[in-house]
Amino acid sequence: MSLDSVKDLAKEMKRIEERSRGRAVPSFRLIGDRDRNELNYLIEKLRRFVYIADKTPHEPINVYCHHFPLLLLPNKLISRIFSFLSIRDRLNARVNKKLNAIELQSKHFVKFLHMAELPAAYRIKRLSLPKKDNSIYVLYRHHQRILLEGNDSFSSDLISRISQNVTIGKLRILIDIRGVHYREILSLLNKINVDSLVLNVVPYETSSSPITESLLLDLAKSCRELSVECLKPRVDPQFLLSLYKVMMNGTGKLRHYSMRAVGIPWLPFMALVGISSKDGVYYSSTKDIQVFERDEGNGVRIMKCFDKNFELSITRYPKGGKPEVVRSDLELRSHESQESLDSAKKNFVRFSVVME
């Protein structure tokens, strides 16, 4: 919020105070750094109003708000204050018709949102839930209520309500396929404006995963960063090729994709992009390919292939010292600066590549 808008907000509130018969908050003195303190005071005033309205919706609001006529503020100014409130405060505002209407139309940004579906046992240990800002916990055996930040509960339309007007910097979702809300959450992913998305699916070792390849390809068009951990038994190399093309051609927003799964077909995928390996020698159908490797110890090995500013990274984990791979980490990254590209190659050994 600019300084001018803070001044406008203060002037408007002072004008309303003068019209009010009740006892008002102290007058605003717009002197230097006090502007930010005054804005914070207004935010706290609205937060306090929302809290009281939620806890005592049938009581006269002015009694609990020091007679300050908050609802007489213009909708535009209330919307500005809303942009500084947490999701919990915004959703609490639904108990007031005017604030509910304003909140629905107010766009806002959330730096980080954590959403997890938890067993019903957490209902008993409610106070032991992780208390992170803007965290949502769904109890999948008591699915009519949703816990927010480990403190307040809301109706199950919370998820769709959030998706209507929020932009999220980083969204981390833990989906339990034994639950009842995971399909609803997945159906809303394409509707939420999110920059970085992390998807975790439990139980990990499952024969089927709700994270479909078509869903991931859709998300590649709208997210800059996408991370998936589902340990799906089979991954189609053609799907990986489709993601590769989206990033190489710039047809989507995706710049970084990472995946942890069982049996990633990295050799067939590399063959599709023109890279092969035999007896420790790498072959390529294009001249721009560079290959680097690093031994991490305990049989863990990282291999990186670079095509100009594009990076393909494979981390292989052995089982009991045997050469077969039981889990792999795959990363696709489009580097946007030379510094980032050089850093990705640091401390790796370069291998020669034979042109085919």
Residue 335 pLDDT level (bands cut at 50, 70, 90): very high
Q: Indicate whether 341 belongs to any domain.
A: yes
More confident residue, 283 or 37: 283
Q: Indicate whether 283 belongs to any domain.
A: yes
More confident residue, 109 or 29: 109
176: tokens are 């339990």
Cβ neighbours of residue 171 closer than 8 Å, sequence gap 6 or more: 112, 113, 115, 192, 194, 196, 197, 198
Q: Indicate whether 290 belongs to any domain.
A: yes
Q: Indicate whether 314 belongs to any domain.
A: yes
In percent, how much of the chain has pLDDT > 90? 12
Q: Burial level of 27, CB count in 10 A (0-12/13-18/19+)?
A: exposed
Structure confidence at residue 235 (pLDDT) = 75
Q: Does position 121 have pLDDT exceeding 60, yes or no?
A: no
Enter the pTM of the model: 0.72
Structure confidence at residue 24 (pLDDT) = 38
C-alpha distance from residue 346 to each of 95, 275, 293, 331, 343 (Å): 55, 22, 11, 17, 5
Residue where a domain stops, chosen among 80, 106, 132: 106
The boundaries of the domain holding residue 66 are 1-106
d(CA 67, CA 22): 5
Residue where a domain stops, chosen among 106, 137, 158: 106
Residue 20 pLDDT level (bands cut at 50, 70, 90): very low
For residue 318, say if its preceding peptide bond is cis, omega within 30 degrees of 0. Answer: no
What integer is the mean pLDDT of 77-96? 71
Residue 62 pLDDT level (bands cut at 50, 70, 90): very low
Q: Indicate whether 167 belongs to any domain.
A: no
67-81, 97-111, 225-239, 270-284: segment of lowest average pLDDT:
67-81
Q: Indicate whether 350 belongs to any domain.
A: yes
Q: Indicate whether 156 belongs to any domain.
A: no
User: 3-class DSSP state for residue 302?
Assistant: strand
Structure confidence at residue 126 (pLDDT) = 47
What is the count of structural domains for the chain? Answer: 2
Give ∠ CA 32-36-39 in degrees, rounded to 5. 130
d(CA 339, CA 124): 50
Question: Average model confidence (pLDDT) for the chain?
Answer: 71
What integer is the mean pLDDT of 120-130? 48
Neighbour count for residue 223 (Cβ, 10 Å): 24
Q: Indicate whether 212 belongs to any domain.
A: no
Strand residues in the chain grouped as ranges (E) = 108-118, 135-139, 145-148, 152-155, 166-176, 193-202, 225-229, 256-261, 275-278, 281-284, 289-297, 300-307, 310-319, 322-334, 349-351, 353-355
Which residue has 């004008």 as its token pair? Answer: 15
Structure confidence at residue 257 (pLDDT) = 93
Residue where a domain stops, chosen among 91, 106, 121: 106
Under DSSP, the state recorded for 33 is T
Structure confidence at residue 65 (pLDDT) = 42
Q: For 241-263, give one letter per residue: b (16+ CB within 10 A) or e.
A: eebbebbeeeebbbbbbbbbbbe
Q: Does position 209 have pLDDT exceeding 70, yes or no?
A: no
Amino acid type, 316: R
From the list 141, 150, 143, 144, the residue with the least C-alpha distance to 119 is 141
From the list 69, 34, 26, the residue with the least C-alpha distance to 49 is 69
C-alpha distance from residue 217 to each of 240, 242, 243, 289 (Å): 10, 8, 7, 25
Sign of CA dihedral 14, 15, 16, 22: positive
Give ∠ CA 127-230-196 in degrees, rounded to 5. 75
Neighbour count for residue 17 (Cβ, 10 Å): 18
Please tell me which of 23-37, 165-179, 200-214 the model is most confident about, judged by mean pLDDT.
165-179
